Amino acid sequence: MTIDCLKSGKRILVMVHDSQPELANYQFCRRDEDPGDEFESIAIESLTAQTLYEWMRETLSTPK
């Protein structure tokens, strides 16, 4: 899943791999750059709508 902010140019990437369905990998990056190789992991049961909302509020709404 990709969540982009057109105004700030920031992006949140979230991926779930078939080999590890209990984990989601995520990265905060920029729309105009390729993602890095390093991703953080979070337990899939911890990846709630509230978590996504907090990530968007904290990451996407801040200045460059």
Contact 35, 41 (CB under 8 A): no
Total number of residues shown for the chain: 64
Res 63: pLDDT: 64
Instruction: Give the C-alpha separation, 19 to 48, whole Å.
Output: 21
pLDDT digits (tens, 9 = 90+) for 28-53: 999 999 999 999 999 999 999 999 99
Closest CA to 39 of 26, 52, 20: 26
Instruction: Give the C-alpha separation, 45 to 36, whole Å.
Output: 25
pLDDT category at 61 given cuts 50, 70, 90 is: confident
pLDDT digits (tens, 9 = 90+) for 9-30: 999 999 999 999 999 999 999 9
Q: What pTM was estimated for this model as a whole?
A: 0.85
Contact 27, 38 (CB under 8 A): yes
